Amino acid sequence: MRVFITGAKGQLGSPIAARLGEEVAGRCDLPECDVARADQIGPAIAIARPDLVIHCAALTDVDGCARDPALAYRVNGLGTQNVALACAGAGAALLYISTNEVFDGEKCEPYWEFDEPRPINPYGRSKLAGEWFVSHLLTRFYIVRSSWLYAPGGRNFIHKITQLADEQGRLRVVADEVSSPTLVSDLVEAIVKLIRTDRFGVYHLTNAGCCSRYDWARKVLDLTGRGAVPVEPITRADFPRPSTPPANTALANTCAAALGITLRPWEEALEELLRHLVTPAP
């Protein structure tokens, strides 16, 4: 299979490229190629002649999307339109990485793939716009929704929590925002399995189970020898930010599980990562 990857330098695109190896026929990322520029992404995909495009490129700064919704729609919505049209022209299938934030968070149980999206912030709306273009411009596509991605390196939730704990000695963390922390390497393996099936559709791929931001932070501290650091649970209202995060966006893996594709519990994935990669408390 010949695969083209957008956002190939990013937290998800880079390990996908590494995992697929010689199957990668082309890749793009800023500044060389902007998916929001049809004149750049179109020729790049056409030259690569891929069988499948994995579209990871996105504006993922949720608060940045709230500050500049027009930019969010230009990158996540119209950028995905550009990629989908290029796939149509090249005869390629498309796997689009979407998000838990296409849901409003009002459901008390995990969201199924069949639940109606109702995003409540510009990031979620722009990613849903991308889903719309994918599903209306192509017949061969995967839409993969995931949540709370983290990986070794970079400034992710784990890095921020441990750094703040060491600097401040105490934390205040939101306890009424719930979803599923997902280890990038686990998501990559699930995606690779999915693209071997040719079973197109909408999929929810996260590590199994769910927790609040507070629970996640508490687990990180316990596993890194920082269990004595006090953590105060607060509400989303106590932590004002430009974006409005949905309360509960845990995702149920129904469709991929029917194909035998599941991800391990989030606690198990987190424990394995922290055992090898996070510096213990000073």
Q: Which residues are catalytic?
A: 123
Pull the structure tokens for residue 195: 């693209």
Cβ neighbours of residue 280 closer than 8 Å, sequence gap 6 or more: 224, 225
* Calpha distance 223→225 (Å, rounded): 6
Strands 231-234 and 171-174: parallel
Sign of CA dihedral 107, 111, 115, 119: positive
Nearest-10 Cα torsion for 189, 195, 201, 203: 0
- Contact call for residues 165 and 226 (beta carbons, < 8 A): yes
* Calpha distance 94→85 (Å, rounded): 10
* Calpha distance 269→264 (Å, rounded): 7
* Calpha distance 150→277 (Å, rounded): 12
